[in-house]
């Protein structure tokens, strides 16, 4: 704790970190509330659950690239405050809506709106870290942000599942709203000064100024794409994250319904397994923080794909055969350990090598890529689950990513990134 009271930047980071901790806790409670709501209205349907979550992904394609441009123009602290505050109001409105009209379709609008705000929040959050920590502390800041986010997320799933099982989705939405509003207050208290970006020479003074600003948005998007393509390390991170998020998307909704049916619960077992997974992720990140610099990133990522795929296959087969919660907890913990090292590395690499005036566009583009991978894989696996046993989908996905990991290790051998 002494680190956070030594200087102004450190105190600002502590407020930012605590706001993120609270908001990510609320995010998982919100997610459990959505799962509970969808299970009540469409029990056992992977496709219906995928449709709901898809409304939270689509804004990444519509607003993501544009948001990145404006994040590099606006004060990032202000963006974080406004998005937290409005999200809190939206979730609270959804909670009271559910009391009177418990239908699912208006929730699509709420999920879409909250996700649209997140398209500004996420790149602003990732770009804001270098402004409030010293350059030498970036690795520590990103690791701390990732690890504590995992802990908050795991606890949020556990508490959210408990709340939804006992009181329904209404209380879960209320909890999330309070978390967003508290996070907004913490961000508002950050004293970091507004960044001064270089003047844009392409902007014409006078009556045409606004037109030039808007026209330059497209040019800045193109500039961001060209910048990413010119940076070997960043381009590699983009490919790796695409592969990883495709793996997550392929099993995400299918495994939720698989667990619900295996243990005959709505969110309770999801909560306990999420905590077990989170503890594994935490330890995996600690291992990466201690030994990660000695190993090339591509080896870490592809090895995690191999081990993670194997654990998904083993988890699925064991749970299907035994229905034993203890085995499920142990295997989810091991899964977290083997995939944990790749969770914080990409952000640290980008923060260290990316120019400040490009970071918003780079993080927004990364978000676009990972959501594209997640959405495509999720929709394909959800469609297949309507025709194929979920056991075989999960086993096949695990096997595919084991093969991808092996091929990647051979193809990228010799890379230093």
Reported as a single tens digit per residue, the pLDDT across 238-272 is 887 787 788 788 887 788 788 888 888 767 777 78
CATH topology of domain 9-193+206-411: Growth Hormone; Chain: A; (1.20.1250)
Residue 206 zone, left/alpha/beta (φ > 0; ψ -120 to 50; rest)? left
* Residues in CB range of 284: below 8 A, 6 or more apart: 336, 337, 338, 339, 340, 341, 343
pLDDT at 104: 66
pLDDT at 99: 60
Q: For residues 392, 283, 115 and 218, what is the CA-based torsion angle, rounded to 10 degrees?
A: -100
**Average pLDDT over the chain, rounded to an integer:** 75
pLDDT at 30: 82
pLDDT 10s digits, 157-212: 778 778 777 777 777 888 888 888 998 888 888 775 444 444 444 333 433 444 44
Decide if 126 contacts 142 (C-beta within 8 A).
Answer: no
What Cα–Cα distance (Å) separates residue 398 from each residue in 13, 28, 392, 403? Answer: 38, 25, 10, 9
* Residues in CB range of 336: below 8 A, 6 or more apart: 276, 277, 278, 279, 280, 281, 282, 283, 284
Nearest in space to 190 (alpha carbons), one of 131, 119, 127 = 131
pLDDT at 5: 43
What Cα–Cα distance (Å) separates residue 21 from each residue in 6, 11, 122? Answer: 21, 15, 14
* Residues in CB range of 96: below 8 A, 6 or more apart: none
Angle at 174 between CA 168 and CA 179, to 5 degrees: 130
Q: For 225-229, 274-278, 331-335, which range has the lowest pLDDT when averaged over its residues?
A: 225-229
Decide if 123 contacts 367 (C-beta within 8 A).
Answer: yes
pLDDT at 310: 92
* Residues in CB range of 104: below 8 A, 6 or more apart: 37, 38, 41, 42, 52
* Residues in CB range of 265: below 8 A, 6 or more apart: 165
pLDDT for residue 14 is more than 70: yes
Q: How confident is the model at residue 11 (pLDDT cuts 50, 70, 90)?
A: confident
- State percent of the chain over pLDDT 90: 5
Q: Output 53-58 pairs: Cβ under 8 A, ≥24 positions apart.
A: 53/111, 53/252, 53/253, 53/378, 54/375, 54/378, 54/379, 55/108, 55/111, 55/112, 55/115, 56/111, 56/112, 56/114, 56/115, 57/115, 57/371, 57/374, 57/375, 57/378, 58/112, 58/115, 58/375
Decide if 363 contacts 224 (C-beta within 8 A).
Answer: no
pLDDT 10s digits, 118-155: 777 777 777 677 677 766 666 666 666 766 777 777 77
Token duo for residue 342: 């790749």
pLDDT for residue 4 is more than 50: no
CA 197 to chain centre: 28
What Cα–Cα distance (Å) separates residue 276 from each residue in 126, 158, 159, 282? Answer: 26, 10, 14, 10
Token duo for residue 69: 């441009």
Sequence-ordered alpha helix ranges (H) in 137-231: 138-167, 169-188, 209-230
- Average pLDDT for 366-384: 80
Q: Where are the domains of the chain?
A: 9-193+206-411
- Asked whether the whole model's pTM tops 0.75, one would answer no
Report the range out of 1-10, 49-58, 324-333, 344-353 with the highest average pLDDT: 324-333
pLDDT for residue 294 is more than 60: yes
- Average pLDDT for 220-241: 76
pLDDT for residue 317 is more than 90: yes
pLDDT 10s digits, 63-121: 767 776 777 777 778 888 888 898 888 888 877 776 665 556 777 788 888 888 877 77
Token duo for residue 52: 């709901």
* Residues in CB range of 197: below 8 A, 6 or more apart: 72, 73, 357
């Amino acid at each position: 704790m002494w680190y956070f009271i030594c200087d102004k930047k450190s105190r600002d980071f502590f407020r930012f970190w605590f706001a993120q901790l609270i908001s990510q806790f609320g995010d998982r409670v919100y997610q459990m509330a959505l799962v509970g709501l969808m299970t009540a209205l469409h029990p056992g349907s992977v496709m219906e659950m995928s449709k709901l979550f898809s409304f939270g992904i689509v804004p990444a394609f519509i607003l993501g690239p544009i948001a990145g441009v404006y994040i590099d123009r606006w004060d990032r602290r202000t963006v974080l405050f406004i998005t937290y505050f409005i999200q809190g109001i939206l979730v609270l409105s959804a909670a009271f809506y559910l009391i009177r009209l418990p239908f699912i379709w208006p929730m699509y609008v709420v999920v879409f709106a909250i996700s649209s705000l997140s398209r500004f929040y996420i790149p602003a959050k990732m770009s804001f870290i270098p402004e409030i920590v010293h350059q030498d502390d970036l690795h520590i800041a990103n690791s701390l942000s990732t690890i504590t986010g995992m802990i908050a997320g795991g606890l949020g799933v556990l508490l959210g599942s408990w709340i939804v099982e006992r009181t329904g989705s209404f209380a879960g939405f209320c909890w999330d709203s309070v978390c967003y509003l508290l996070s907004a207050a913490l961000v508002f208290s950050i004293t970091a000064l507004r960044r001064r970006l270089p003047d844009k020479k392409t902007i014409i003074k006078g009556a045409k100024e606004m037109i030039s600003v808007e026209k330059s948005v497209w040019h800045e998007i193109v500039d961001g794409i060209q910048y990413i393509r010119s940076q070997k390390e960043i381009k590699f991170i983009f490919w790796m994250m695409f592969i990883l998020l495709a793996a997550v998307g392929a099993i995400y909704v299918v495994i939720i319904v698989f667990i619900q049916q295996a243990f005959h619960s709505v969110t309770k077992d999801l909560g306990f397994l999420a905590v077990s997974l989170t503890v594994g992720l935490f330890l995996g990140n600690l291992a990466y923080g201690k030994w990660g610099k000695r190993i090339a990133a591509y080896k870490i990522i592809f090895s995690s794909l191999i081990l993670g795929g194997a654990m998904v296959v083993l988890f699925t087969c064991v749970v299907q055969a035994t229905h034993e919660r203890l085995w499920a907890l142990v295997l989810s913990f091991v899964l977290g350990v083997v995939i944990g090292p790749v969770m914080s590395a990409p952000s640290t690499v980008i923060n260290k090598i990316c120019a400040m005036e490009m970071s918003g566009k780079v993080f927004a583009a990364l978000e676009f890529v990972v959501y594209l991978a997640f959405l495509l894989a999720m929709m394909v696996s959800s469609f297949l689950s309507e025709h194929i046993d979920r056991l075989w989908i999960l086993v096949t996905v695990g096997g595919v990513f084991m093969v991808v990991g092996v091929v990647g290790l051979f193809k990228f051998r010799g890379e230093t990134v």
